[in-house]
A and B are shown apart, each in its own frame.
Chain A
Amino acid sequence: MTLALLAPLLAMASALAGALAPRDAPAGRLLVFALLGLSGLASIAAGVLALAGDGSLYARLPLGLPWLEWHLRLDGLSGFFLALIGAVLVPVSLFGPGYTRAFAHGPSHPAVLHLFTGLFVAGMQLVVLADDAFVFMVAWEIMSLASYFLVAFEHQHAANRRAAFLYLLMAQVGALAILLGFGVLSGLSGAFSFDAMRASYQGTGWANVAFALALAGFGMKAGLMPMHAWLPEAHPAAPSHISALMSGVMLKIAVYGFVRFAFDLLSQPHWGWGVATLIIGSVSALLGVLYALMQHDLKRLLAYHSVENIGIIFIGLGLSLLFGASGAPSLAALGLVAALYHTLNHALFKTLLFFGAGAILHSTHERDMEHMGGLIHRMPTTALCFLIGCISISALPPFNGFVSEWLTFQAFLQVSFLESGALRAMLPFAAAMLALTGALAAACFVKVFGVVFLGLPRSRHVRHAREVDAGMRAGQILLAASCLVFGVLPTFVIDAIAPVTRALLGGELANATASGWLWLTPVSPQVASYSAPLVLAGIALAGLAISITRHHQRRIHPVRRSPPWDCGFGALGARMQYTATAFAMPIRRIFQPVWHVREATVRNAAQAAGDNERAVTVRHTLHIDDRAWDLFYEPFARGIQWTARQAARLQTGRIRTYLAHSFITLLVLLWVVT
């Protein structure tokens, strides 16, 4: 437990060091990130020990209100998420010093960045350690507010200020829903501590209300559709290592909150919750990837992919709730394990991808994919790591994203254990949506990697890009390696998660690793098996065989370099390549109704006299807007404005009307009192 408390303390020390360090002192920057890295190591150690210990540790801190101490607790679930925070924090501490160097002479003071980064991290670590609603909300707000300042860090751009305000607004609305959810539980149990909430019995009605509030509140933070609007705005606005922390960790804290609330605090799951979570998760996953496909701002695209992956995580959680409510704890464990595994995987590969985007931004000052290209030649290490991230997020074997999606599919396939025929018919459809999501994600990342790293450079900055420094590369390499390791050795991870499912669901995947570490058999060896180590061994064997024959062949038939085939028309230029928009065009045409597409071709006939043929300029514009704004946010905003206008009728500006109001109020109050 001391180790777990050390983690937020070190993060706060990092915040303090950052606040006090002079503006452009490399040593100060290194100290800030060294402390963050140590905090990450402490979190990993505490988390792994908590998972291995299979019990819970308690602590009470004499902080907060005099009659209400802070209750902290470290159990398996907290340990898992604490380790996840640490797993992202360590690469961030490697990546950070190089990346923030650019801010030393920027318009905003880097001390602000470092101060709030430390607080943000400490807040997240405290959220997972909290054992009463009071600490939870305090830590939650520290996390939200600190990240608001991080999003607003480059506040000289109006777009960033707007994004930060939207983020703050939605974070507060979400926090309100969570607060109300805790309010329901503490009203029923009469106490703030999680133990009391767990022990109290909630009737179906109140449990439903609490669940709906939790789904809305945590869903807003996690970025589920249609509550995702802040996410694609806030992620591109923040500095890249902060985007990585926000997308890689903060969204996962929301997942933690949801799991804690729905699986732990609420006594008995209802199958309807599972269905609701599953539907919201599927919609988020599919729409998230479809919106991501249409983006050409790299960081915005990655933000929409966060919506998609959070959707996949919630699909797993929904399945788990559904099976749990149907009295199949081992299948519920399968769903939960798939969701938690995907949570971990998403933290790793999304951080890696944001690092890649950050490295490109750092060396080319470019975020628009349409201006990139050919970076694999200029930034080879970043390219390789980014490729691994792309393969992982596209759920391709043998990397980590595949394992968790495979587990989710296996959970789907156990539908025959459900009694309801309607559910049995609906679930495969949801599974097919998940398959569509996966395939579209692969298409999207072919687009990303192909347009950004392959082909010819599309702008001058990109043509002269330089590889980033050793620290930034080390952070990426560490994450890329862990993507491979967690993809190839899933059995160890699943064994490690077992205490969590035992504690929350009373069931576990008994057979998952029964046939040894080589074989992953989630239900039983007869039903399904996957051996990632053997797949990797097969690939390695093939690679070995090929390199031997290649060596032989290259001697006989050498490789000759020549210009690519240009159909005999002459030199190919960078502008003849497929752009990101062109690549996604067939998909845009097929799924047209999903987006709000505004496409226009303007022929500008302002032509010089006597030069009729050449002077016509044609301008093509394409805007793709989020339909969620049209369907949810703008009606909501209009509703609020309408209500405000109605309320404003009271304000007549005449003093006698106001006196009449006061008089009537007084009368009514007197009547109520008597």
Chain B
Amino acid sequence: MIEWALAIAQTLLFVTAAPLLAGWIKCCRCHLQNRAAPMVWQPYRDLARLFGKNVVVADTTSWLFRLAPYVVFGAAVLAASVVPLIATHLPTNAIADVIVLVGFFALARFVQALAALDAGTAFGGMGASREMTVASLAEPAMLLVVFTFSVTANTTNLSTAIDHILASGLVLRPSFIFIAVALLMVAVAETGRVPVDNPATHLELTMLHEAMILEYGGRHLALVEWAGQIKLMLYGVLFIDLFVPWGIASQLSWAAAGTGLVAVAAKLALLGLVLAVSETLVAKMRLFRVPGYLGFAFLLGLLGMLSHVILEVG
């Protein structure tokens, strides 16, 4: 019972910390670009402001449009409950493995794209079409990463995979280098960051994700934004869990949990800094360059798989 309570507490921590990560990235990026940076907790203020507003809904929409933000947010929370943040072997980890996690993301995306088409505007269609195109190219690359990983660890459960990495210690695996880069590239595409998409723009020709949620306002927009922040953090934590899990609590004690919290916070902060640097250095690419980018990620995944088969088996 205590384990379930801990699992729920960890999920709550995940959900409430997600805007902080987004704020940290934005803060770093502004500093790097010589702009006046907002406070780290600015996303919380934005969310509070949006929750406090009245909701305006387009009169052409159906119930689907109003249900979608809740489904998107719910899927993000469900995904957050599955990924180990501070401690492994919590009971919620077994509900879903990495493939189901990818399925949760796909569900959220599916509903979001439908909601975008609901209002019957050109922007919605444009956003939905582009988002689904990018996602359908990103998903095979993502799953190839997952496959390479799970063939190595012989599991798709995250907790068991972390155990495997911790048990085998610091080993240089060429396949992991390839798939780590591939995962980062996919994560950038899936969370709508530069160079695939730019969350800060509302220019017609370049919008992907923002075009989909253009019709939302008030608490609906708040939920969608929050879900986006959770998704960003999910990819970050997933990267940490798979490749640098050291520090995560394997048994239940206050000291272990404290170490786990500090470790994951430090690693996320570092990862956020890396993302901010790369967003500062790289420009957004044209939509039809994205297939090449994701194809490269897929190729890296494949190389990871091949180098696993050739170099590491036996």
Report A's interface with B, CB cutoff 8 A. 373-374, 376-377, 383, 387, 391, 394-397, 402, 406, 409-410, 412-413, 415-416, 421, 424-425, 428-429, 431-433, 435-436, 438-440, 442-443, 445-447, 449-451, 454-456, 519, 525-531, 534-535, 538-539, 542-543, 546, 553, 557-566, 572, 574, 576-578, 582-587, 589-590
Residues of A within 8 A of B139 (CB): 435-436, 438-439
Query: Which residue of the partner chain A has the closest CB to B127?
Result: A578
| Complex Cα gap A572–B124 (Å) | 13
Give min CB distance, B107 to chain A, whole Å: 4
Give min CB distance, A506 to chain B, whole Å: 24
Give min CB distance, B7 to chain A, whole Å: 11
Residues of B within 8 A of A574 (CB): 120
B57 and A416 contacting across the interface, CB-CB below 8 Å: no
Residues of A within 8 A of B126 (CB): 578
A413 and B313 contacting across the interface, CB-CB below 8 Å: no
Query: Which residue of the partner chain A has the closest CB to B113?
Result: A446
A377-B62, A535-B78, A560-B55 given as contacts; is B143 within 8 A of A431 (CB)? yes
| Complex Cα gap A543–B133 (Å) | 29
Listed A/B pairs (21) with beta-carbon separation below 8 Å: A391-B110, A402-B100, A402-B103, A406-B103, A431-B147, A442-B106, A443-B135, A446-B114, A454-B120, A455-B118, A455-B125, A526-B155, A530-B97, A535-B78, A542-B70, A559-B55, A565-B215, A566-B121, A577-B117, A578-B124, A586-B130
B150 within 8 A of A: yes
B99 and A546 contacting across the interface, CB-CB below 8 Å: no
B305 and A425 contacting across the interface, CB-CB below 8 Å: yes
B24 within 8 A of A: no
Most buried by A among B51, B141, B156: B156
Residues of B within 8 A of A585 (CB): 129
Which listed residue, B125, B215, B306, touches A583 by the CB 8 Å rule? B125
Query: Which residue of the partner chain B has the closest CB to A566?
Result: B121
Residues of A within 8 A of B54 (CB): 557-560
A436 and B150 contacting across the interface, CB-CB below 8 Å: no
| Complex Cα gap A359–B118 (Å) | 21
Query: Which residue of the partner chain A has the closest CB to B163?
Result: A526
A397 and B110 contacting across the interface, CB-CB below 8 Å: no
B313 and A421 contacting across the interface, CB-CB below 8 Å: yes
A433 and B78 contacting across the interface, CB-CB below 8 Å: no
Q: A431-B144, A542-B70, A561-B58 are in contact. List 18 more A-B contacts (CB 8 A).
A: A391-B107, A396-B106, A410-B99, A432-B301, A435-B142, A436-B137, A439-B138, A447-B129, A543-B70, A546-B74, A557-B53, A558-B55, A559-B56, A561-B59, A564-B120, A577-B122, A578-B125, A586-B133
Residues of A within 8 A of B151 (CB): 413, 415-416, 428
B229 within 8 A of A: no
A455-B117, A456-B120 given as contacts; is B313 within 8 A of A527 (CB)? no
Most buried by B among A413, A528, A542: A528
Which listed residue, A376, A396, A410, A424, touches B103 by the CB 8 Å rule? A396
Which listed residue, B94, B116, B123, touches A529 by the CB 8 Å rule? B94
- The DSSP consensus for interface residues of chain B is helix
Give min CB distance, B212 to chain A, whole Å: 11
- The DSSP consensus for interface residues of chain A is helix
B281 within 8 A of A: no
Residues of A within 8 A of B61 (CB): 564
Residues of A within 8 A of B121 (CB): 564-566, 572, 576-577
Give min CB distance, B91 to chain A, whole Å: 9
A590 and B133 contacting across the interface, CB-CB below 8 Å: yes
B37-61 interface code vs A (CB 8 A; 1 in, 0 out): 0000000000000011111111111
- Interface pairs A-B: 3 shortest CB-CB: A578-B125, A450-B117, A455-B120
Give min CB distance, A526 to chain B, whole Å: 5
Which listed residue, B60, B113, B219, touches A557 by the CB 8 Å rule? B219
Residues of A within 8 A of B147 (CB): 412-413, 428, 431-432
Within B215-269, the residues touching A (CB, 8 Å) are 215, 218-219
Query: Which residue of the partner chain A has the closest CB to B92?
Result: A534
| Complex Cα gap A468–B64 (Å) | 21
A528 and B122 contacting across the interface, CB-CB below 8 Å: no
Q: Count the A-B residue pairs with Cβ separation under 8 angstroms: how many?
A: 261
Which listed residue, A397, A559, A563, touches B100 by the CB 8 Å rule? A397
Which listed residue, A377, A562, A582, touches B125 by the CB 8 Å rule? A582
Residues of A within 8 A of B137 (CB): 436, 439, 590
Residues of A within 8 A of B129 (CB): 447, 578, 582-586
A531-B96, A559-B57 given as contacts; is B287 within 8 A of A577 (CB)? no
B148 within 8 A of A: yes
| Complex Cα gap A542–B37 (Å) | 35
A542 and B132 contacting across the interface, CB-CB below 8 Å: no
B120 and A439 contacting across the interface, CB-CB below 8 Å: no
Query: Which residue of the partner chain B has the closest CB to A558?
Result: B54
Which listed residue, A424, A519, A590, touches B313 by the CB 8 Å rule? A424
Residues of A within 8 A of B103 (CB): 395-397, 402, 406
A565-B121, A582-B129 given as contacts; is B60 within 8 A of A439 (CB)? no
Within B139-193, the residues touching A (CB, 8 Å) are 139-144, 147-148, 150-151, 154-157, 160
B52 and A557 contacting across the interface, CB-CB below 8 Å: yes
A446 and B78 contacting across the interface, CB-CB below 8 Å: no
| Complex Cα gap A415–B306 (Å) | 13
B302 within 8 A of A: yes
Residues of A within 8 A of B154 (CB): 416, 527
A561 and B62 contacting across the interface, CB-CB below 8 Å: no
B219 and A553 contacting across the interface, CB-CB below 8 Å: yes
| Complex Cα gap A519–B13 (Å) | 26
B11-36 interface code vs A (CB 8 A; 1 in, 0 out): 00000000000000000000000000
B201 within 8 A of A: no
Residues of A within 8 A of B116 (CB): 450
Give min CB distance, B225 to chain A, whole Å: 16
Residues of A within 8 A of B104 (CB): 397
B107 and A396 contacting across the interface, CB-CB below 8 Å: yes
A429-B302, A439-B106, A590-B133 given as contacts; is B78 within 8 A of A454 (CB)? no
| Complex Cα gap A383–B214 (Å) | 24
B160 and A526 contacting across the interface, CB-CB below 8 Å: yes
Residues of B within 8 A of A438 (CB): 106, 139
B120 and A373 contacting across the interface, CB-CB below 8 Å: yes
B196 within 8 A of A: no
A433 and B140 contacting across the interface, CB-CB below 8 Å: yes
Which listed residue, A374, A431, A534, touches B120 by the CB 8 Å rule? A374
B140 and A439 contacting across the interface, CB-CB below 8 Å: yes
B99 and A451 contacting across the interface, CB-CB below 8 Å: no
Residues of A within 8 A of B287 (CB): 586
| Complex Cα gap A136–B53 (Å) | 68
Residues of A within 8 A of B110 (CB): 391, 394, 396, 442, 445-446
B284 within 8 A of A: no
A546 and B70 contacting across the interface, CB-CB below 8 Å: yes
Most buried by A among B78, B94, B298: B94
| Complex Cα gap A402–B107 (Å) | 11
B285 within 8 A of A: no
Give min CB distance, B51 to chain A, whole Å: 8
| Complex Cα gap A526–B162 (Å) | 12
| Complex Cα gap A529–B66 (Å) | 32
